[in-house]
């Protein structure tokens, strides 16, 4: 072996000796090195910082699955303090939700409405096809779907971990390092270890869905649809979406 090569090997051995060994081999070391330091805190402090960060962001994107009222929904929503917009899928079909202030609009194809057999229902459904339906606040559909567009309501659900909350493993959501908070009776919340400690993933207890959160603080346009695209379903159509 050439003396130069022996010298290089010896130098690497010195660098990797002791505490540095784990770093040379890609194991061990401090998992919180280069992070925002949140992973070193107690569970209650991590949860508090994540809650504060979430409340302080004026916009975000939320996507994934959630079980509500015994039904499973897949969501892909953009949320702001004054409303939200996005797509929801369920066994009844796929539809779009838009809420601006207190005004909730639902947009879907004709198959989403009526039972498909009755001629009157078919005619009513045809009027709704591809239109934004303005849902009156007193309608059951308003109560059922408005929560999917409500940033405050959805974020409050993130911080419901069943049982005693403890600090879990270091993980990743996409390429971002996270620290997990685990409920002793189910549920987990991944909190970002990069920059602001936003919640990035929420796994609901008892298989009730998984949500990912992204685009924190990234604004987007939220506006009511043109009047020509809106049907007032409370006074004009008199039908309700299939459940």
- Which of 216, 219, 181, 171 lies closest to 198 in space, CA to CA? 216
The dihedral sign for the CA sequence 135, 137, 142, 148: positive
Angle at 159 between CA 156 and CA 163, to 5 degrees: 135
Q: Give the mean pLDDT of the chain.
A: 84
* pLDDT tens track for 111-148: 887 665 677 777 777 888 889 999 999 888 898 899 99
The fraction of the chain above a pLDDT of 90, given in percent, is: 58
Q: If residue 221 lies in a helix (H) or strand (E), which one and from where to where?
A: none
Decide if 215 contacts 117 (C-beta within 8 A).
no
- Three-state DSSP class for residue 21: helix
35-94+146-232: CATH topology = outer membrane lipoprotein receptor (LolB), chain A (2.50.20)
* pLDDT tens track for 197-220: 999 999 988 888 899 999 999 999
* pLDDT tens track for 16-56: 444 444 445 445 688 999 999 999 999 999 999 999 999 99
The fraction of the chain above a pLDDT of 70, given in percent, is: 82
Q: How confident is the model at residue 64 (pLDDT cuts 50, 70, 90)?
A: very high
Least confident of 17-26, 99-108, 197-206, 231-240: 17-26
- Other CB atoms within a 10 A radius of the CB of residue 194 amount to 15
Polymer length in residues for the chain: 243
The pTM of this model reads 0.79
- For the chain, the domains span 35-94+146-232
- Three-state DSSP class for residue 159: coil
Sorted by sequence, the CB contacts under 8 Å of residue 67 that are 6+ apart come out as 73, 204, 207, 208, 209
The pLDDT of residue 173: 96
The pLDDT of residue 239: 43
């Amino acid at each position: 072996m050439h003396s130069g090569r022996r010298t290089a090997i010896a130098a690497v051995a010195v660098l990797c000796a002791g505490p540095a060994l784990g770093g040379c081999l890609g194991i061990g070391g401090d998992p919180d090195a280069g992070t925002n330091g949140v992973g070193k805190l107690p569970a209650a402090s991590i949860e508090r910082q994540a809650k504060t960060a979430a409340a302080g962001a004026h916009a975000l994107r939320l996507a994934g699955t959630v079980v509500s009222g015994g039904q499973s929904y897949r969501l892909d929503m953009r949320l702001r303090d004054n409303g939200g917009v996005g797509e929801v899928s369920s066994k009844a079909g796929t539809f779009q939700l838009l809420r601006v202030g207190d005004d909730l609009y639902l947009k879907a194809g004709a198959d989403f409405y009526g039972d498909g057999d009755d001629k009157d229902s078919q005619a009513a459904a045809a009027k709704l096809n591809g239109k934004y339906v303005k849902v009156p606040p007193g309608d059951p559909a308003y109560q059922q779907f408005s929560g999917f567009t409500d940033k405050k309501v959805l974020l409050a659900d993130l911080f419901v971990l069943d049982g005693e909350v403890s600090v879990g493993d270091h993980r990743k959501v996409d390429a971002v390092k996270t620290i997990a908070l685990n409920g002793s009776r189910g549920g987990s919340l991944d909190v970002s270890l990069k920059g602001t400690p936003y919640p990035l993933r929420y796994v609901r207890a008892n298989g009730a869905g998984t949500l990912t959160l992204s685009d924190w603080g990234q604004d987007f346009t939220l506006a009511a649809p043109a009047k020509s695209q809106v049907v007032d379903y409370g006074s004009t159509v008199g039908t309700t979406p299939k459940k």
